């Protein structure tokens, strides 16, 4: 059986050729996923091959996505793959963050080390490869900023035309600047992420533009390699927990799919648990998991300073729900103050990240307090975006000017004010000796 698209809904499971340009099941409207038979080679042999490829200078082997291509075999040929050497992100121990969150130890998998500064690059190299295979010339996405930066870079590198839709005034300048610099046609629309996604889906169909939001199942395949690389870096010892922020829930879907496949195929002997953390002002998935009887209810006016996860109607929630259940996972929500403080603590570790990423540490802190996560647990938290994505937020926090969307002042509990001094050695010396 070659690679296929299958409907994710268990009641349907319809199958379609891998080259069909569809984002939902044409029969039932369900989400789609890429399915293949397990790799022909045994896990031990593949683990050796993947390790050996790390020393190669070949572009495909230098990619932290395509190095693991046996796990994502949807292409017949790799000749047109465009890689910016995505992935290859470090595992960083963070003792200060661990003690802040009530853990003995904590490791960050920092996806902000990617070429465009976020985990989106892992998925985008795959989405763009599929666009090329399908003969598409234009690609589009709506984005809270990182997807657009990543799509703009990979599409331009591949000679495609990127068209980016963003909620006007609601993404950080760092991310908007990237879309402009990488040459995307950039449309700032007066609506929120969820509303624009519906718009972009209509326009993509009408104009024959390839849609590269995370509803695109090939993006999900690429994001699986974040987990594969992390396990490779840990010599295939699975952690107890993998913690990540939840917005549109594509990454939760990707991580869960990777873990299930690796477990079923014998790469790992047990499943880590997923902990998905949402911002309290944009937490429909948290609400669903807490009160399943109410069913999924979108948040009509999501709001958080962590603009990357300011999403009220995440498309991938059915997949994410299955992955949380399969991994015996949990979902937590955190306040603006908790995110801001956690972010500053991650900064003090010399690591740093963007606000959405810091929801992980804030969430872990709550989970250890409630007893859901043991202090001795082996935990990997995924930092999804680079510190420099949103410097405005950082400056405001440290100078005591950051306000939550409802106007509440955020206390700079870990604030670090810059000091203005005259050009005078004595005065500066006195200041430093105080
Ligand atoms: N962290 C960062 C830095 C993000 O940019 C996003 C999503 C998430 C977490 C949440 O990931 O959607 O897979 O649950 N950003 C998207 C974008 C929506 O448009 O860049 P998710």
Nearest CA to ligand 1 atom 10: 247
Residue ranges in the chain modelled with pLDDT below 70: 1
Ligand 1 centroid to Cα of residue 111, in Å, is: 12
Find out whether the beta carbon of 390 lies less than 6 Å from any atom of ligand 1.
Answer: no
Find out whether the beta carbon of 152 lies less than 6 Å from any atom of ligand 1.
Answer: no
Q: Classify strands 107-110 and 91-93 as parallel, antiparallel or unpaired.
A: antiparallel
For residues 307 and 310, what is the distance between their CA atoms, to the nearest angstrom? 5
Find out whether the beta carbon of 192 lies less than 6 Å from any atom of ligand 1.
Answer: no
Query: In ligand 1, which atom is closest to the CA atom of 143?
Result: 19
Among 28, 32, 36, which Cα is nearest to 4's? 36
Query: In ligand 1, which atom is closest to the CA atom of 249?
Result: 14
Among 150, 158, 423, 82, which Cα is nearest to 308's? 150
Query: In ligand 1, which atom is closest to the CA atom of 244?
Result: 9
Query: In ligand 1, which atom is closest to the CA atom of 320?
Result: 14
Summarised one tens digit per residue, pLDDT across range 138-163 is 999 999 999 999 999 999 999 999 99
Find out whether the beta carbon of 127 lies less than 6 Å from any atom of ligand 1.
Answer: no
Query: In ligand 1, which atom is closest to the CA atom of 118?
Result: 3
Paired residues of 403 in beta bridges = 409
Find out whether the beta carbon of 239 lies less than 6 Å from any atom of ligand 1.
Answer: no
189, HSE (Cβ side, Cα atoms, 13 Å) = 20
Ligand 1 centroid to Cα of residue 420, in Å, is: 37
Query: In ligand 1, which atom is closest to the CA atom of 214?
Result: 13
Find out whether the beta carbon of 117 lies less than 6 Å from any atom of ligand 1.
Answer: no
Among 220, 255, 218, which Cα is nearest to 18's? 218
Query: In ligand 1, which atom is closest to the CA atom of 145?
Result: 20
Find out whether the beta carbon of 253 lies less than 6 Å from any atom of ligand 1.
Answer: no
Pocket test for ligand 1, best of 247, 250, 255, 352 (most atoms within 8 A of CB): 247
For residues 282 and 279, what is the distance between their CA atoms, to the nearest angstrom? 5
Find out whether the beta carbon of 249 lies less than 6 Å from any atom of ligand 1.
Answer: yes
Yes or no: say if 88 and 68 are a contact pair by the CB < 8 Å rule: no
Three-state SS at 276: strand
Three-state SS at 188: strand
Find out whether the beta carbon of 62 lies less than 6 Å from any atom of ligand 1.
Answer: no
**Residue that has been written with the tokens 């984005």 in this structure:** 143
Find out whether the beta carbon of 384 lies less than 6 Å from any atom of ligand 1.
Answer: yes
Query: In ligand 1, which atom is closest to the CA atom of 246?
Result: 14
Summarised one tens digit per residue, pLDDT across range 260-276 is 999 999 999 999 999 99
Q: Classify strands 330-334 and 273-279 as parallel, antiparallel or unpaired.
A: parallel
Find out whether the beta carbon of 309 lies less than 6 Å from any atom of ligand 1.
Answer: yes
Yes or no: say if 150 and 156 are a contact pair by the CB < 8 Å rule: no
Query: In ligand 1, which atom is closest to the CA atom of 245?
Result: 9
Ligand 1 centroid to Cα of residue 87, in Å, is: 16
pTM for this predicted structure: 0.98
For the CA atoms of 258, 263, 267, 268, the dihedral, rounded to the nearest 10 degrees, stands at 110
> Which pLDDT belongs to residue 1?
66
Ligand 1 centroid to Cα of residue 44, in Å, is: 33
For residues 28 and 284, what is the distance between their CA atoms, to the nearest angstrom? 23
Ligand 1 centroid to Cα of residue 1, in Å, is: 33
Query: Residue 154 corresponds to which tokens in the numbers above?
Result: 């990979």
Find out whether the beta carbon of 368 lies less than 6 Å from any atom of ligand 1.
Answer: no
């Amino acid at each position: 059986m070659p690679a296929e698209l299958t409907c994710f809904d268990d009641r349907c499971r319809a199958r379609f050729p891998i080259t069909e340009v569809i984002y939902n099941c044409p029969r039932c409207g369900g989400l789609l996923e890429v399915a293949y038979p397990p790799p022909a080679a045994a896990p031990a042999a593949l683990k050796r091959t993947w390790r050996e490829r790390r020393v190669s200078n070949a572009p495909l082997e230098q990619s932290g996505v395509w190095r693991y291509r046996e796990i994502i075999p949807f292409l017949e040929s790799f000749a047109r793959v465009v890689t910016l050497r995505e992935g290859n992100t470090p595992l960083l121990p963070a003792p200060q963050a661990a003690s802040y969150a009530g853990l003995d130890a904590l490791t960050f998998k920092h996806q902000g080390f990617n070429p465009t500064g976020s985990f989106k690059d892992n998925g985008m190299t795959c989405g763009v490869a599929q666009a090329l295979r399908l003969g598409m010339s234009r690609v589009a996405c709506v984005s809270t900023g990182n997807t657009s930066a990543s799509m703009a870079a990979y599409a331009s590198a591949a000679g495609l035309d990127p068209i980016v839709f963003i909620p006007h005034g609601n993404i950080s300048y760092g991310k908007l600047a990237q879309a402009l610099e990488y040459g995307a046609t950039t449309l700032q629309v007066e609506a929120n992420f969820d509303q624009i996604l519906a718009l972009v889906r209509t326009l993509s169909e009408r104009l024959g533009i390839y849609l590269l939001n995370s509803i695109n199942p090939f993006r999900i395949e690429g994001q699986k390699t974040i987990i594969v690389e992390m396990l490779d870096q840990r010599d295939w010892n699975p952690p107890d927990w993998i913690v990540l922020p939840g917005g549109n829930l594509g990454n939760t879907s990707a991580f869960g799919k990777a873990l299930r496949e690796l477990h079923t195929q014998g790469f790992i002997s047990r499943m880590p648990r997923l902990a998905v953390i949402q911002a309290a002002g944009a937490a429909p998935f948290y609400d669903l998991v807490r009160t399943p009887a109410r069913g999924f209810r979108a948040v009509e006016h999501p709001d958080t300073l962590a603009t990357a996860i300011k999403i009220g109607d995440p498309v991938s929630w059915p997949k994410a729900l299955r992955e949380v259940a399969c991994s015996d996972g949990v979902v937590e929500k955190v306040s603006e103050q908790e995110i801001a403080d956690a972010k500053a603590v991650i900064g003090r570790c010399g690591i740093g990240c963007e606000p959405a990423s810091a929801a992980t540490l804030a969430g872990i802190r709550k989970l250890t307090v409630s007893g859901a996560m043991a202090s001795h647990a082996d935990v990997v938290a995924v930092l999804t975006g680079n510190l420099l994505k949103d410097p405005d937020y950082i400056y405001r926090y440290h100078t005591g000017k950051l306000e939550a969307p409802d106007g509440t002042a955020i206390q700079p509990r870990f604030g670090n004010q810059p000091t203005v001094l005259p050009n005078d050695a004595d005065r500066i010396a006195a200041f430093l000796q105080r």
